[in-house]
Chains A and B, each alone.
Chain A
Amino acid sequence: QSVLTQPPSVSAAPGQKVTISCSGSSSNIGNNYVSWYQQLPGTAPKLLIYDNNKRPSGIPDRFSGSKSGTSATLGITGLQTGDEADYYCGTWDSSLSPNWVFGGGTKLTVL
């Protein structure tokens, strides 16, 4: 059971838009910045979004992030077959023993 809750799967057609939600609490998302990671099959995760909504150099603007209260959202527009991957949200949890937590991951299928 992950501390952050993501839908197990989402799907959409090429060219369409999809959003992936990440729900947490005041001890994590509510008071810390969220990052998102893309994991293509058989590869290491790759940073997509940091500080809720910033993109590292080289990440196309088709990828966007937002945060409201204790939830965060990853948006992907102009879906491509190469976007098929697992997506994870993550943030610090400032509980009694501060530690980094991840969502359970969302499998994106581009139909």
Chain B
Amino acid sequence: QVQLQESGPGLVKPSETLSLTCTVSGGSVSSGSYYWSWIRQPPGKGLEWIGYIYYSGSTNYNPSLKSRVTISVDTSKNQFSLKLSSVTAADTAVYYCAREKVEEAGSSFDYWGQGTLVTVSS
């Protein structure tokens, strides 16, 4: 059974960089059939896709966040990470890591981490 677990600081100061790591167990980030994604959900609001990374290192980011986002992968640790720079209170959210299963037909997020709340405040 694939499991994903987010880790990182729960409190970040405005203008600083938010950094989170997702550790994958029961599966490999080196598998060619999946994209490894970050998705966030502000309190009381809906889901927003942040971006994904493929095991090769290729990435795709939400255009609205692209200038501030970096997603990287460490295949030796079976982890992938998110960095979001110049954060403001609007970046306060529960951050989820998820696996996007890519097939010939389409794709979907078949496994999710439990989520971690990151609050931006001084």
Contact = CB atoms under 8 A, between A and B. Distances in A.
Interface stretch (B18-26, B43-51, B70-78, B80-88): B43-51
Interface of B: 37, 46-49, 60-63, 66, 96, 100-101, 103, 105-110, 112-115
Contacts of B107: 33, 35, 92
14 contacts: A37-B109, A43-B114, A44-B96, A44-B114, A45-B109, A47-B108, A47-B109, A52-B106, A99-B49, A99-B61, A100-B37, A100-B62, A102-B48, A105-B46
A86 to B, nearest CB: 8
Interface of A: 2, 32-35, 37, 43-47, 50-52, 56, 88, 90-92, 97-105
Nearest to B94: A44
Contacts of B37: 100
A45 B96 contact: yes
Contacts of B106: 32-35, 50-52, 91-92
Contact of A46 (B66, B101, B112): B112
Nearest to B62: A99
Contacts of A32: 106
Given A45-B112, A47-B109, A98 B48 contact: no
Nearest to A50: B108
A63 to B, nearest CB: 14
A34 B103 CA distance: 13
Contacts of B108: 33, 35, 47, 50-51, 90
Given A50-B106, A99-B60, A104 B46 contact: yes
